[in-house]
Chain A
Amino acid sequence: MHIVDGALANPVVIGGAVLAAGGIAMGLRSLTLEKIPAAGVLSASFFVASLIHVPIGPSSVHLILNGLAGLVLGWAAFPALFVGLLLQAVFFGFGGLTVLGINTLNIALPAVLSGLMLGPLIARSSPVTGAVWAGIGGAFAIGATTLMVAASLMLSGDEFVPAAQFVFVAHIPVMVIEALLTAAAVYLARQVKPDLFNALQGARP
């Protein structure tokens, strides 16, 4: 999921950085006082989630948790995921510093999309239905991220269809796990702190 330094053409890297900067600016504007602790916690979970390898078949996958961040934070997922990616690049050498922008865009934009589409639905519906929507949001964020990774590779000269198939198929298990995890997390949050979603949605400018 992390594209490494040198894999992409320069225009793609620069374009990604510009768009990611725009997203971060949007996110910082919507990052209200109430949202900052949640953003920090989700940023930390994103940072650590990549280290949790779940063995599936002959390979292993790692979690991304961008859907959950998007559902809770909306646009504020951009700065939260950016911080997580930056520290992953610095501490673990995942991805790289020059591709930070495009990686942020690829991971945070699907998160924001799922948050904008499903966030209001979750806030309105009952906890169980909300959990189902959250699961869909979690899977959607991963799926969209794989497509964006494939699109970035295509813009750099790779063939889109094989690249997309490769990344998408490889992440089907991740989508399933993330859907369950996101659904469980949202359900739990609704049970123990029912006002989390309403409060954060209300805090959105």
Chain B
Amino acid sequence: MMRALIVTLVLLMPLPAFAHNVIASVFPSGSAIEGEIGFSNGEMATGQVVEVFDQTGTKLGETVTDGDGFFLYTPTAPVTHVFRANLGAGHVAEMAMPADEVAAILGVAAPEAAQPATALAGPAAGQLAAASLTQEERQAIAEIVRTEMRPLRQEITAYRNHNDLQTILGGIGYIAGLFGLGFYLAARRRLAA
């Protein structure tokens, strides 16, 4: 009994149950959609199952985050992709990638913009500029850029969720002001009575 309790404790403690906010984002990454899931305290969600849905809620598939909280999903249809991960204890991450971005990844035009038959004729405009490079070169460059961007992205996320002294003092100031106002109103009512 005691051992079972300890095992449960050990299993549960490392989970970021006290993290406040879930941070998640998705972005195009070569022919796939890359995303990251983490908590506002800088911990990343590792080994987290991410379910992928389309706009109407039909499940398209699922993927799992790696050791750095990143996941990859290769889209097959140019529709809006909604990524949803339940991190437990009331933490849910949900992010969406609109249909035209998915279409750009797939190299086809968005379904509402053109007929599929003509869409297959050529790649999206953004990819024409890199046409002189081979597919391998393009992928290698994309891979390098992604790796270089990762720490930056994480730093920006951490910075965005950083609470500095000014914010805290501002909040306390609001509280003082609000309760001061309440005090003023209550005192005026009592004086009038």
A: residues with CB less than 8 A from B are 1-4, 6-8, 31-33, 36-37, 39-40, 43-44, 47-48, 50-51, 53, 56-62, 83-84, 87-88, 91-95, 149, 152-153, 163, 165-167, 169-171
Cα–Cα distance between A152 and B90 once the two chains are bound (Å): 9
> Which residues of the partner chain A approach B190 to less than 8 Å between Cβ atoms?
33
For this complex, 18 residue pairs linking A to B, each with C-beta atoms less than 8 Å apart, are A33-B183, A33-B186, A33-B190, A37-B179, A39-B179, A40-B180, A43-B179, A59-B14, A83-B175, A87-B171, A91-B167, A93-B20, A152-B90, A153-B89, A153-B90, A167-B17, A170-B15, A170-B18
Closest 8 CB pairs of A and B: A40-B179, A3-B90, A170-B17, A7-B92, A94-B20, A36-B183, A87-B171, A7-B90
> Which residues of the partner chain B approach A2 to less than 8 Å between Cβ atoms?
20-21, 90
> Which residues of the partner chain B approach A166 to less than 8 Å between Cβ atoms?
12, 15, 17, 88-89
Residue B16 at the chain A interface, CB threshold 8 Å = yes
> Which residues of the partner chain B approach A40 to less than 8 Å between Cβ atoms?
175-176, 178-180, 182-183
> Which residues of the partner chain A approach B21 to less than 8 Å between Cβ atoms?
2, 4, 92-94
Cα–Cα distance between A59 and B15 once the two chains are bound (Å): 7
B119 → chain A, closest Cβ, in Å?
A: 33
Number of A-B residue pairs, CB cutoff 8 Å, is 119
- Contact B90 A149, beta carbon cutoff 8 Å: yes
Cα–Cα distance between A186 and B183 once the two chains are bound (Å): 24
Residue B174 at the chain A interface, CB threshold 8 Å = yes
Cα–Cα distance between A152 and B8 once the two chains are bound (Å): 23
> Which residues of the partner chain B approach A167 to less than 8 Å between Cβ atoms?
17, 89
Q: Residue of A at shortest CB range from B172?
A: A44
> Which residues of the partner chain A approach B152 to less than 8 Å between Cβ atoms?
none
> Which residues of the partner chain B approach A163 to less than 8 Å between Cβ atoms?
88-89
Cα–Cα distance between A104 and B8 once the two chains are bound (Å): 29
- Contact B17 A6, beta carbon cutoff 8 Å: no
- Contact A170 B12, beta carbon cutoff 8 Å: yes
A205 → chain B, closest Cβ, in Å?
A: 13
Most chain A CB atoms below 10 A, which of B17, B22, B86: B17
